[in-house]
Amino acid sequence: MPAQELLDALRVIGAAETVQDFAVRTCAAILRLVPGIRASYNEVNTAAERVAAIVYPDPGREWYGHYAPIFDANMRDNPLVNHFESGETAPASWSDLDPEGAFFETTLYREFYAPNGIHSQVAFLLPAPPGIFVALAINRDGTEFSLAERALLTELQVHLVNIYRLVSHTEAARQRDVALADVGWSVVLVDADGVVVESNHVAESIGKAAGIDLGVGATLADGPLWPVISGADLDLWARATRPDAPTVLGSKFVPFECRLLRSSVGPHLLWIREPNRVTESDAAVLGLTPRQAQIAVLLVDGYTNEQIARRIGIAKGTVRKHLEEVFDRLGVSSRAAVVGRLQAGAANRTA
């Protein structure tokens, strides 16, 4: 196998932006390098007897609906599951672990693998949180995997471990940012000198209203914000810390809250939000559905029905219908009353 083919595969996989994207790209690339019937990315929780899998080529929803319960109920029949649960991570096959072929008499083989024409399998692990393991598997019609193919998978595994860590950590960071945004926080990255290295338009607008530049490249050290939140010399911090409560800065007319999540090596996370910023969570507490909450928050932010429709990709008439339901659920009869109810809820949340 030419080294160039391996490098080309890694280049394609390395462009993945999400774990699902990584799974599809990796399974497709593996089948080009080591041919088989199908390849799969599998997240396995043996304690809960649950498996989440992405199979390539995609067999369709009906296939998953029929075969996933069979695998969940009988996963321990697969010798690779018990092998990997013991802590082994390197590529291994059915024939390695079960040379006598006892697996071929199990329910899992007869009802899951055999009907799909799968009679041989090799798999290896990627890093995973405690309690689960993440495996990449290649399935064949019974043809054994050669020594050269196993060597290739061993080399590939080393590179995939690093790519997978990067992609999964990036996805976790995005999920964190979504969770923060749901309660009104925006995240700005700053270095040890108080220079903004990454920002976003929400944080910049909050800072602008308070007279503080939070754009990329701005220096916070010379302004009123940095001395209050930084405390000690950032270079001396040995671990991540977070204040017990947010710092409230700005004038009484344009206040904002901020937290500094410190890192020993940087960059540091500056969380910032308007204290009474209405969020979808505030709206949901009042009994609105997720879609109603989304529309109500945009209404509070000053969007017209037409702007809301464009923002979330629905018809203007549908926005009007949702707002009628919002009025009914909140027991009000005007847009101003909706704004008042949600702002009062946000104020109670931050009190």
- Does 262 score more than 80 pLDDT? no
H/E run at residue 39:
strand 38-45
Q: Look at 56-60, 119-123, 150-154, 188-192 and tell me which has the smallest mean pLDDT.
A: 188-192
pLDDT at 39: 97
Domain boundaries, the chain: 3-172, 183-273, 280-350
Q: Say if residue 12 is exposed, middle or buried (CB neighbours under 10 Å; 0-12, 13-18, 19+).
A: middle
What Rg do the C-alpha atoms of the chain give, in angstroms? 27
Query: What is the spatial distance between Cα 28 and Cα 30, in angstroms, rounded to a whole number?
Result: 6
Q: Look at 71-85, 127-141, 253-267, 324-338 and tell me which has the smallest mean pLDDT.
A: 253-267
pLDDT at 183: 61
Mean pLDDT of the chain: 84
Give tens-digit pLDDT for 12-59. 999 998 899 999 999 999 999 999 999 999 998 887 778 889 999 999
pLDDT at 14: 94
pLDDT at 231: 57
Q: Is 3-172 in CATH node 3.40.47.10?
A: no
- Indicate the class that CATH gives domain 183-273: alpha beta
Arithmetic mean of pLDDT, 334-351: 77
pLDDT at 125: 96
Write down the architecture of domain 280-350 according to CATH.
Answer: Orthogonal Bundle (1.10)
| Domains 3-172 and 183-273 equal at CATH topology level | yes
Arithmetic mean of pLDDT, 182-211: 81
Report DSSP state, residue 267: P
Q: Which two tokens stand for residue 59?
A: 């067999």
Q: If phi over 0 gives left and psi between -120 and 50 gives alpha, with beta otherwise, what is residue 74? A: alpha
Phi/psi of residue 344, nearest 5 degrees? -65, -40
pLDDT at 266: 62
pLDDT at 179: 60
Give tens-digit pLDDT for 93-140. 999 999 999 999 999 999 999 999 999 999 999 998 777 889 999 999
- Describe the strand order of the beta sheet including 255-261 as a list of residue ranges: 196-198, 186-190, 268-273, 255-261, 247-250
- Does 264 score more than 60 pLDDT? no
